[in-house]
Amino acid sequence: MNAYGRLLSSNTGKLCWNFFYHDCLLFYSYCFLYICLKNINHTYSIMADLNLFAGEIAGVIFKLIYFGAIIGTITVVILDNRNPVKTMAWILILMFLPLVGLVFYFFFGRSTRRERIISKKTYNRLMKKPIAEYLAQENSSYPQTYVRLIELFKETNQALPFEGNRMEIFTEGYAKLQALIQQLYRAKHHIHMEYYIIEDDAVGRLIRDVLIDKAREGVEVRVVYDDVGCWHVPGSFFEEMKNAGIEVRAFLKVRFPLFTSKVNYRNHRKIVVIDGRIGFVGGMNLAERYLRGFAWGEWRDTHIMIEGKAVHGLQTAFLLDWYFVDSTLITSSRYFPRIESCGDSMAQIVTSDPIGPWKEIMQGLVMAISQAQKYFYIQTPYFIPDESLHEMLKIAVLSGVKVKIMIPSKPDHPFVYRATEYFAKDIVEYGAEVYMYQNGFLHSKVMVVDDEIVSVGTANMDVRSFKLNFEINAFIYDRDVAEELIANFDEDQKNCIRATHDYFAKQSKWRKFKQAFSRLLSPIL
């Protein structure tokens, strides 16, 4: 509503309003005059059949309102100055499926990129203390090899690089869950936890009980969950936590999910911060399927535990989200303790969201690809790249960089998967290697460049993650971590089939049509 208010109050909005106001009045007048002239010779019959006359008037009014809404929505889409491809996708939907298009645009199409949910003044107040604590850390100069990428994140995301971190990588759910529980029980001061999904199952209840135990010991516990990701979780699950003294908040709570556009902007982050010293981030939510997988295979994912100064980046991200859901500023230095060097990894914690001016994670990936000299490896469950990212991948392949992309062989969202297949087929034509994971569902979000730059986090390589979701990735500059993830990639490759030109050529025409159609709508998926 605020966005529409600002639009109407702006000069452009006023101009558009006057245009539609006067033209609609004129159009109504012409239609009324047309009806009167058409029926002038049938005055007596019109008087005799008022229902027919009223029906005609009602029909004309309905058409005016209906087509006015379509035209108005198309105008709003054009004035939004978004990507032309995305604009055309919405215009095509509104033209050929007007009623469905209106509903979909109302729920999923409106851009929030220019909205500021957190005021600039409040944001600066919130960031003042974390930045001071960042700057107080003893971090040395960073290698010149990564200077452009690091400076990009510093400029757009205020993500400062920190050395002296220890990274532990988890590729299966049991190991990650075991490490998480161990660290939770060691908490002395606070636990901050944020997940897209917290299921009311064995895993969710286990973590809930651990948090309750720690809260009863006097540890501060704050939990943020995504309201849409946890739609089906009963309220009693979180009420039990609240009754034990845990502060629990839902992110962008949706009371009427079918009647709000907030359903489209979700917090996809997975963050755990323990005493400001230990942090977790990656692709795994709190649910049994992340441990047991499915009947047809395992759930293959990647998560990392960070010990060191980079945890301050996770803390800052959580506290920003906490302010978002609770309107409470938490900036005490107790949440940003001084940390001695724990390892050899340098890292930046980078966030992205649908309300800021930048698409930080996507822009970072584009720059990382541009810096690649030898290879660029990607694991992602969905491969629907932005146009700029897609072009950069093509350029990398054509310039001699080995590009390997690993995607699932089985879809969890069929419509999205067809778009993934389309882009995979397209990049194969340029010479990239695409592998399809066969041993279950690949949910890992990993990027490795030249044994030097690594990204692990929550962002998929698709438009939704880049532009609609609240996401978080750790960008790590460490050869040992890169080599470990490459070894994991090579091991996963043993459970893959390679999607070659012949593989796609043998697919049915109907499947190719679904891929092409899904690609047409990929900007709004």
pLDDT over 60 (residue 282): yes
443 is catalytic: yes
pLDDT digits (tens, 9 = 90+) for 134-146: 666 555 566 677 8
413 is catalytic: no
Query: Which CATH topology does 120-351 take?
Result: Endonuclease; Chain A (3.30.870)
Q: Pick the catalytic residue: 86, 190, 214, 443?
A: 443
Q: Where are the beta strands (DSSP E) in 338-470?
A: 345-352, 375-379, 383-384, 402-408, 433-437, 440-442, 446-449, 453-457, 461-462
121 is catalytic: no
Closest CA to 435 of 484, 492, 392: 492
Query: From the CB of residue 468, how many other CB atoms can be counted at a distance below 10 Å?
Result: 22
Q: Pick the catalytic residue: 86, 268, 359, 425?
A: 268
Say which range, 106-115, 389-398, 483-492, has the weakest mean pLDDT.
106-115
Q: Pick the catalytic residue: 190, 192, 214, 270?
A: 270
Residue-wise DSSP of 204-242: HHHHHHHHHHHHHTT-EEEEEEETTTTTTS-HHHHHHHH
Closest CA to 268 of 203, 201, 184, 361: 361
270 is catalytic: yes
Question: Do the first three CATH levels of 120-351 and 360-524 match, i.e. the same topology?
Answer: yes
How does strand 303-307 pair with strand 162-170? antiparallel
Q: Pick the catalytic residue: 445, 462, 492, 514?
A: 445
Regarding the domain with residue range 360-524, which homologous superfamily does it belong to in the CATH classification?
Endonuclease Chain A (3.30.870.10)
451 is catalytic: no
445 is catalytic: yes
Confidence of residue 36 (pLDDT cuts 50, 70, 90): very low
pLDDT digits (tens, 9 = 90+) for 290-345: 998 887 789 999 999 999 999 999 999 999 999 989 988 888 889 989 888 899 99
* Residue boundaries of the structural domains of the chain: 2-109, 120-351, 360-524
pLDDT digits (tens, 9 = 90+) for 37-77: 444 444 444 444 555 556 667 666 656 655 665 565 556 55
Residues 197, 108: Cα–Cα separation, whole Å: 21
